[in-house]
Structure 1
Amino acid sequence: MSPQSRELSGITPSGALTLGNYLGALRRFTEHQDDAFYFVANLHALTTDHHPEQLRRATLSTAALFIAAGLDPERATVFLQSDVPAHVELSYLLESTAHLGELSRMIQFKQKGGRPGTRASLFTYPCLMAADILLYDATDVPVGGDQSQHLELARDLAIRFNTLYGRTFVVPRLAPAAFTTRVRDLADPTTKMSKSAPADAPGVIRMLDDPDTISRKVRRAVTDSDGELRYDPDVKPGIANLAEILAALTAGTPEQVLDSVSGYGALKQLCTDVVIAELEPVRRRHQELFADPAELLGMLAVGAARARTVADAVVTRARAAIGVVSAVGASGVADPPAGYHAVHTVKRLPPS
């Protein structure tokens, strides 16, 4: 086992993906896709109440957006988390390595756990996320600030496992560029644009919004009343948010964006035009894949097979290190130990 430069990331299909997901994740994926692993983390969506059919649709829609946004399955490994059983198996081995206090301090559990009906998986899913990260010997893991705690846990578990049972896992690092694009809610620029927001949230631009919907949301974006075009995220978060979105899409700076427009109306119109131009081709490609999913499912099947080859080798390494014995060989049937000779005996029944 030797560390190699390899990026890995996943997105949970807990809601329709947003402009924030595109700028902060998907577009970055397309820029770092050689020998990279990108997956739809559908098992993580089971930690809270959900409708099975909606989850199935959201899973395939998210996968379609991966491809529509520019991921090339011949360059990157694109797959569904649930198609690689090693994720679940390694998760249990890491649950057997993690400490109760570590999991109880995780942000998601502190915010949502402890209530009646809380699912046990909400408590243990950081171990599944750690398994996601460690299964592919990845060196770089791009995560947003709200997920950095999970990467720290993955690092801690990898180091502890390596110390207790021998060097088994590559200890990953956070990819610094993951923090570059933070898109905020247009209606409340003090909060991030979240895919878990209600479907009709006025300040959330979804990747599948049509041009009219995008235009309406940007037109109604919160700004301020002083009319001054100045980049100041603390004092003028609404203006700063629009400028940052445009800067991310035009490879400029927020200051350059604001210098190029004459007023708030012009800023919103420019933002509308640029966002639509960026997302409309993605939306059309998604519609093609989703209308006839055979092509999409074929690409995901190829990705899953490639992912299993890597993940199975890592989980086998972890099983051996932690002391799990296997009597089943690669053929799927029990292989006798070396030197074993079967002895056939016949049990004679007493006469009736």
Structure 2
Amino acid sequence: MNLPRFLLTLAIAAMLCGCPEEQPLETVADPVPQPAPEVPSEPPEQAAEPAAPVDEAPAADELLVTAEELQAQLDDTELRILDVRSEEAYAESHIPGAVRVDLNDWKSLALSEGGLQDADAWAGRVGELGINAGTPVIVYADNPTNATRIWWTLEYLGVNDVRVLNGGWAAWQQADAPVSNEPLVPTPTEFEPEFQEERLAAKEDVQKVIETPGGAIALLDARSEGEYTGTSGPGARKGHIPGFARLEWTNFVDEQGRFKSPDKIREIVGDRPAGEGAITYCQTGGRASLNAFALELAGYGPVQNYYCGWSEWSAADDVPVKTPAEDAAGGSENESE
């Protein structure tokens, strides 16, 4: 799919993205998410007409794998399985052949100043897992936002074949699949990141988009209703980025943390993805990664993740913030700056 023209012109700006190191990390949600009903919220100010899925949309089995399918691949020596759970959980039992990823370390690096452009650091992180650009990878966790955060990061770094175990660790246990408590130390590779800038949005990109009337792009906020309305949640200021409609990540998974079907996701999204692209954000990139994954699963994308998200935007004094109450009162976008 051809990317929107503005994405190409803003690629250089995206390379400057990096959150200050002191920004808080996103709180990990409960392992079993409770789906929230879709809540009417502010329509995207940039919406044009609905976009059809891309002509060559990835099939569901190219992004998702079931526990049964993964069991059949356990003897594949080329496959790298990544466990994104805690060190204690991994030590107790894990999928045979899985290598543990330190989620907090990866989040800290990505959110540090210039972290998403630190080629040397990412070469070390990914290379020590025995992964190169052509390695097939399957990621699992006990929370779907953790798995999709690693999925998004690897895709952004240029790893070509990354999939997610649908339902995560719970699905593996429910399938009565084999487990191991033997840690795996892979042979390191010489990984060279090739940053896929079309997957990343910087603060400057978002500013230009919301200042461009009639832009053909969907703007989606993956956070909770309280965070969106400014009644709860972290951040130096409360509310949301003007022009972004709330489409919470929990809409895309069921009670077991399994992704809904592509058809159901398209039904949930409705006419929100306008034109040829979308930007999604949350607090620090995790929930937005899940939204990006779901949209691509349904045939939209690639979707830009404003990874630094609300932790960066709310702390900046040169960007506007809105709340629905201000919208209803006819307030200016700049009243909450």
Compute the TM-score of the two structures, normalised by the length of structure 1. Answer: 0.21
Higher RCO (CA-CA < 8 Å; seq separation 6+)? 2
The structure that is helix-richer by fraction is 1
Larger Rg over CA atoms: 1
The structure that is strand-richer by fraction is 2
Compute the TM-score of the two structures, normalised by the length of structure 2. Answer: 0.22
